[in-house]
Amino acid sequence: MWKLIKIVGWFLAPPGILAYGKTLLSHDYAAGWELIQVQIAGFSASVGIVCWLLLRRRVRFFHVFDHELTHLIFGLFFFYKPKVFVASDKDGMVGLYGNNFFITLAPYYFPVYSYFLLLLYPLLRPEIYPYFFALLGLTTGYHLSSKLQDFRFSQPDIMHEGRIFSIIFCLFGSIISFGCLFFFVSGGFPGALTYLKSGIEVLMFLISAALNFLSAPH
């Protein structure tokens, strides 16, 4: 079944990149506190990138744990029981009773710490929001920087799923996951949901246009 779903992924990921990329670039947010939130998160993301570049050797265990934890979370999401979980400052491994390309590539497109923070947001008081968005930007910047360096063709995950497919699918997944974070910062959970819906609408339009073109007489 997963081989068939992966074939579907081959066809959906490229137009999906265009659809969600267009939705992300066309976003127009208002001024005021909404703009301040974006600025706080954006500045903190830059700090997160710089911190990772400077401290990556000293926080190697943190990075490996993050990588393996993301595999584990996605495995549990698909109801695959874990067999083993190992993380050290040198290497790590997760063994599951089942696997698919969503799980294998998850660490490269899903900023797990950032999404953990989103679970805390409903519990916070408004005066805490500036610190929350600063921390959200910091974790997102860390993920972006670390995974750009971590994505190598020699990585077993990448080799297992294929180089071209890994590039396309991780780009697709990253646009969705980071886009949701951006729209959340500028519009809360409704903003993230609007991003998902708008991307699907544009994707359906692109697919419909492509099918009409292929079916039209030439």
Question: What was the pLDDT predicted at 9?
Answer: 85
| Mean predicted confidence (pLDDT) in 100-121 | 93
Contacts of 66 (CB under 8 A, 6+ apart): 107, 112, 113, 143, 146
pLDDT at 29: 59
Contacts of 5 (CB under 8 A, 6+ apart): 100
Whole-model pTM: value is 0.88
How sure is the predictor about 170, in pLDDT bands with cuts at 50, 70 and 90?
very high
- DSSP characters for 161-202? H-HHHHHHHHHHHHHHHHHHHHHHHHHHHHHHHHHHHHHHHH
